[in-house]
Structure 1
């Protein structure tokens, strides 16, 4: 069965479960899934039971929600759709990276696998979307970059931006205004005393920017060897 034959709701739940595990090792619970989707816990619990009956997730009572092999393949197919659509909107239609997430959320349910494969070919098979998230291949292969949240790296390092969370469009605009884009190199210094802020400066720039916890959590980086 193709992922297109699943309901939009099922597609969304599977993609959400994958999204919660892609950059985190925290177990996915119905409560966490409800927070991610913005839906009532009772509705999410009912959906999880249905997904379990369909063989798409495994969920023991009061336990975590895990994708089965079949559920994972469908989830990756939806992630592939979403990220290729985002890439197309930015590269071809001139969208900014803070505008594409909601558009892709709508379009991903309407396109066919054939169209997605044509978009992939047209874009010359990109491996990452505009935010640095890996794009699964047609066979479901996905390579997660070796990246860590800047908040976990701390001051005194030179880092390369590998991925930026797209959950907050305003934050994406802020990063763009200051040159914090995928592939940019940052010099990280101490922030204000008694705070969890860090100072970040794009290599070659004379201006540093104070980044609070929400910003340093959203930036995923790799440390440049000294």
Structure 2
């Protein structure tokens, strides 16, 4: 017998908490309110409910953490969301800037059976169109080491492994400039006084501001000792 899923609202909160943790952001009522675009009072009520359900722990002034059942529920909804995004791109011809809103709706509606058929159809993939890891059916998540582009110094090279953003305009900008998954990127220069990062992608040079460098994760080759 299938386990009853949490409500759509609860799943949205669990996915948001998981996403903030992935990014190393403290999970507070304020950061959750900003991420979900809801009022702080709404967040307070839902966090209390999640704690009552055993899905999070919440210590006032110390943030919110997922419990193991909460983490597993978050991974379940992330698996659905990211598989749907990939299916829309691979099978239905969507572009990577179009899929997030569609997946937001469909992730709550699809059955577990359909999700597993989608996974099988796609060859049991491990990453979605933005490079986000797709949790396995058992809740495990593959997290290869990456570095934010903003943290790399001139001379560093690697390849684009993941984009931490659902803003369609940023995704379209990246695609238009060839800054897509697997693209080789070289850091050429860091402009002073908080200026842009100058990088080379393919044969083109770009000056990227912090809004872009803060969402691009780069896989940097390891140097043998």
| Rounded Cα–Cα distance in structure 2 between residues aligned with 1:202 and 1:30 | 39
Moved more, 85-94 or 56-65: 56-65
Other-structure match for 2:95: 96
| Rounded Cα–Cα distance in structure 1 between residues aligned with 2:105 and 2:117 | 19
Gaps of 5+ in 1: none
| Rounded Cα–Cα distance in structure 2 between residues aligned with 1:213 and 1:166 | 13
Alignment CA distance shift 1:216-1:3 (3 Å):
farther
**Residues 45-60 of structure 1 mapped to structure 2, 5 A cutoff:** 45-60=44-59
Other-structure match for 1:9: 9
| Rounded Cα–Cα distance in structure 2 between residues aligned with 1:143 and 1:39 | 31
Other-structure match for 1:170: 169
| Rounded Cα–Cα distance in structure 1 between residues aligned with 2:83 and 2:198 | 33
| Rounded Cα–Cα distance in structure 2 between residues aligned with 1:109 and 1:193 | 46
Instruction: Decide whether the 8 Å contact of 1:3 with 1:74 is kept in 2.
Output: no
Instruction: Decide whether the 8 Å contact of 1:191 with 1:210 is kept in 2.
Output: no
| Rounded Cα–Cα distance in structure 2 between residues aligned with 1:27 and 1:176 | 30
| Rounded Cα–Cα distance in structure 2 between residues aligned with 1:129 and 1:106 | 17
Other-structure match for 1:62: 61
Off by >6 Å, runs of 4+ in structure 1: none
**Residues 135-150 of structure 1 mapped to structure 2, 5 A cutoff:** 135-150=134-149
- Does residue 1:74 correspond to 2:73, yes or no? yes
Other-structure match for 2:213: 216
Other-structure match for 2:154: 155
Other-structure match for 1:86: 85
Deviation at 1:144, TM superposition (A): 1.4
Instruction: Decide whether the 8 Å contact of 2:159 with 2:183 is kept in 1.
Output: yes
Specify the SS of the correspondent of 1:97. coil
Alignment CA distance shift 1:64-1:3 (3 Å):
farther
| Rounded Cα–Cα distance in structure 2 between residues aligned with 1:225 and 1:61 | 41
| Rounded Cα–Cα distance in structure 1 between residues aligned with 2:41 and 2:117 | 39
| Rounded Cα–Cα distance in structure 2 between residues aligned with 1:156 and 1:12 | 40
Moved more, 191-200 or 35-44: 191-200
Instruction: Decide whether the 8 Å contact of 2:153 with 2:190 is kept in 1.
Output: no
Alignment CA distance shift 1:47-1:159 (3 Å):
same
Specify the SS of the correspondent of 1:163. strand
Alignment CA distance shift 1:167-1:4 (3 Å):
farther
Other-structure match for 1:107: 106
Gaps of 5+ in 2: none
